[in-house]
Amino acid sequence: MLTKHTIRTFAALAASLVLVACGGGGGDPTGSATATVAGVVKDAAGAVIAGASVSVGALTATTGADGRFALPGVPVGSALVVASAPDFDPRSQTVTLVAGSNTLDVVLAPADKGEWGTKANLLANNSEYALAEAGGKLYVLGGYPPQMGPNRTSRTVQVYDVAADRWELGPPLPEPNNHGMAAAVGGRVYLLGGQVTDDQNGLTAVNTVWELDPARGTWVEKAPMPTARSGGVAVALGGKIYVAGGRVPRGNDFAAYDPAADAWEVLPDLPSQRNHVAGAAIGGRVHVVGGRLGNGLSPVKSDAHEVYDPAARRWTAAAPMLRGRSGMNGAVARGCFHVWGGEAPTGMTPDHDYYDPRADRWASLRAMPIPIHGVVGAAYVGGLVWVTGGGTNVGGASGSLHNQTYKPAVSCE
């Protein structure tokens, strides 16, 4: 049975509590001086929160329709201010109050009312594979089988029917593949790049592109990528597939594939070279987050968040992740970019965060019940984020059969 973890308030919003002293001097030596605390309570998107409660000791104020509150008669000195509201995580902050007016603005994070669950197990416990969704089905492509051995890499294709909660084997890949990148356009599934053995430096990376038409059930080779690479991410947007990053020395590579024309276009480099990244399409732009800077199980992780605008043909920086991460996965659900899991030499990463593009802010949700890594590509289908398979221990030999799901409650729409 999956257990629910304690909701954690995220550190990034703690910096949003701003206290400004406006008046008062050294205080009244008789101890009779008091302070007034006033401000506005907002959510992560900047909208005011009416009906929020703000307390200092036994003193409590409730925000009005404009989100404002005022607490007069508070003793000067150190004070614990607690703010809460329905459907939001409570927030506390210790501040130093001076005699007179003190301004305190508070940002509250939505409470994590999302639900983790499980569905039918996979058929093969591979890891380090690519995943794409088309027509209500998930396609798990290749990966490492759990058995150690020379050049271990799989051609297995596993197909999951979301509506039926059922797995079946699909047409095997034309060649073994791990650390590939996958996406779907026009109901067809594309596997781009990857590598054909389990070398940790991408020396056997390929530039091949394979297309699967589920109606025909056969793989067809398409125009190759401009460079051979593995460990990047593929993002479908506007009928094209954008492939970003990869193992060194291909960590800056960025190109777009047009399935209709069966042609590639080399685009401006990803500013920060990285691999084992996550990506998503949000508001007509390509977002690429996190990753590791070296090959193998590099301990150097990135919190970079870079955004490509196809119309402007340029990259910009967005709010960095809450911490450097690699080997994680992500998907957009209800307008929020959810990112979960990952690995490092020190162990697995259970963190589950989301990015709100309206406010350009990250927030933390409950940790994953079963932390995983080694899957690139995810889906939000049927009201669920599909957290399918993945390794449960550091390294590529820990693939699992788990088919976890997350039903999000938070909305960024």
pLDDT 10s per residue in the chain (413 long)?
A: 433 333 333 333 333 333 444 444 444 444 578 999 999 999 877 889 999 999 999 999 999 999 999 999 999 999 999 999 998 889 999 999 999 999 999 988 888 889 999 999 999 999 999 999 999 999 999 999 887 666 689 999 999 999 999 999 999 999 999 999 999 999 999 999 999 998 888 999 999 999 999 999 999 999 999 999 999 999 999 999 999 999 999 999 999 999 999 999 999 999 999 999 999 999 999 999 999 999 988 899 999 999 999 999 999 999 999 999 999 999 999 999 999 999 988 899 999 999 999 999 998 898 999 999 999 999 999 999 999 999 999 988 889 999 999 999 999 99
Backbone angles phi, psi at 284, to 5 degrees: 80, 15
> What is the predicted pLDDT for the residue at 16?
38
| Class of CATH domain 115-407 | mainly beta
> What is the predicted pLDDT for the residue at 258?
98
Residue extents of the structural domains in the chain: 11-108, 115-407
> What is the predicted pLDDT for the residue at 46?
82
**Whole-number Å distance between alpha carbons of 310 and 244:** 13
Residue 70 · residue 55 · CB < 8 Å: no
The dihedral over CA atoms of 86, 89, 90, 93, expressed in degrees to the nearest 10, equals -140
| Helix or strand run (H / E) with residue 159 | strand 157-161
Of 3.30.1330.20, 1.10.443.10, 3.80.10.10, 2.60.40.1120, which CATH number belongs to 11-108? 2.60.40.1120
DSSP code per residue over 266-287? E-SPPSS--BS-EEEEETTEEE
Residue 48 · residue 67 · CB < 8 Å: yes
- Tell me if 11-108 shares its fold with 115-407: no
> What is the predicted pLDDT for the residue at 31?
54
> What is the predicted pLDDT for the residue at 19?
44
Q: Residue 36's closest CA among 77, 92, 75, 93?
A: 75
Single pTM value for the model: 0.81
